[in-house]
């Protein structure tokens, strides 16, 4: 018989003895004694017999080299496409304004104009004669083309707002006559200029290649040469240049052979006379 059963039997016997005595107090004491003994017996856990200790639940072993109880690593997000990570400085759109002055190259071809708001509009020089026949200084024009962050516009289409006539950029004819290389500079004259820079001009890849002065004069240099004068290639800088170019009814432009400030001009090429 277990210890719990023996305790209960003794308690019942004790209760029967007190009950038979007929005392109310004795009955209550006996009932309390039985309740305490029963509670103590219920709280006493049986001691397991030797050899009957239950084994702990097996735990699954973690794979070799892994960290237990850690979630699997999250793969990094896929990189954005290369084109989406770049922000192009060129945008296509429409620009409107009035022509304040024409722009020529050192050979004398009109290859663009400046609008009243300062925007520089460029057009291929082989269409020079058609451009000056379409628009004149002071005309209101609408331009469709590529505009860069500096405000320069490479025109693809120019419309005269007054007449409605439109000029569209087209490649030169394959059989168009061209002067021999030895004669392409035959009409250039020696020029000396100085003045205050209004804006910087750029080559097709965006690198500086000259300046436009506030009086409209164009000074051009190869981009590697222009990079030697970064302190002067900025608006309001006072500059001077010597070189060969053209002066005509549309403006003045030269290819510089010397460049700098009026009191300190630098020869750009060693094999040319001062």
pLDDT tens digits, 88-139 = 456 788 999 999 999 999 999 999 999 998 899 999 999 999 999 999 999 9
CA distance 89 to 149: 6
Rounded to the nearest 5 percent, the helix, strand and coil shares of the chain are 25, 35, 45
Q: Are 128 and 111 in contact (CB under 8 A)?
A: yes
Q: What's residue 272's pLDDT? A: 64
Question: Cα separation of 225 and 223, whole Å?
Answer: 5
User: Per-residue confidence at 174, pLDDT binned at 50, 70, 90?
Assistant: confident
Angle at 42 between CA 37 and CA 48, to 5 degrees: 125
pLDDT at residue 259 is higher than 80: yes
- Per-residue confidence (pLDDT) for residue 140, from 0 to 100: 97
Q: Is residue 197 over pLDDT 90? A: yes
Q: pLDDT for 7-45, tens place per residue?
A: 555 555 554 554 454 444 445 444 454 444 444 444 444
Which pTM was predicted?
0.63
- Give me the percent of the chain exceeding a pLDDT of 70: 62
Mean pLDDT for 244-264 is 96
- 172 pLDDT band, cuts 50/70/90, is confident
Q: Which residues contact 185 (CB under 8 A, 6 or more apart)?
A: 107, 244
């Amino acid at each position: 018989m277990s210890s719990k059963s023996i305790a209960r039997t003794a308690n019942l016997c004790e209760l029967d003895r007190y009950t038979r005595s007929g005392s109310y107090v004795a009955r209550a004491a006996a009932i309390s004694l039985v309740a305490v003994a029963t509670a103590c017996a219920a709280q006493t856990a049986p001691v397991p017999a030797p050899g009957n200790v239950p084994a702990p639940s097996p735990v699954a072993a973690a794979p070799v080299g892994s960290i237990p109880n850690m979630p699997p690593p999250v793969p990094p997000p896929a990189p954005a496409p290369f084109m989406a990570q770049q922000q192009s400085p060129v945008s296509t759109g429409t620009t409107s304004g009035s022509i304040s002055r024409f722009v020529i190259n050192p050979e004398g071809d009109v290859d663009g104009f400046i609008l009243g708001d300062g925007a520089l509009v460029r057009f291929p020089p082989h269409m020079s004669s058609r451009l000056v026949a379409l628009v004149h200084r002071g005309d209101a024009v609408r331009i469709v083309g590529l505009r860069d962050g500096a405000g320069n516009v490479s025109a693809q289409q120019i419309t005269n707002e007054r007449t409605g006539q439109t000029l569209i950029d087209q490649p030169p004819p394959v059989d168009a006559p061209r002067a021999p290389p030895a004669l392409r500079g035959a009409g250039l004259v020696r020029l000396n200029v100085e003045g205050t820079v209004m804006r910087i001009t750029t080559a097709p890849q965006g690198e500086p290649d000259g300046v436009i002065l506030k009086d409209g004069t164009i000074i051009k240099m190869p981009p590697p040469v222009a990079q030697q004068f970064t302190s002067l290639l900025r608006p309001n800088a006072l500059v001077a240049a010597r070189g060969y170019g053209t002066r005509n009814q549309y403006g003045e432009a030269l290819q510089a052979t010397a460049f700098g400030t009026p009191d300190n001009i630098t020869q750009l090429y060693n094999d040319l006379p001062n």
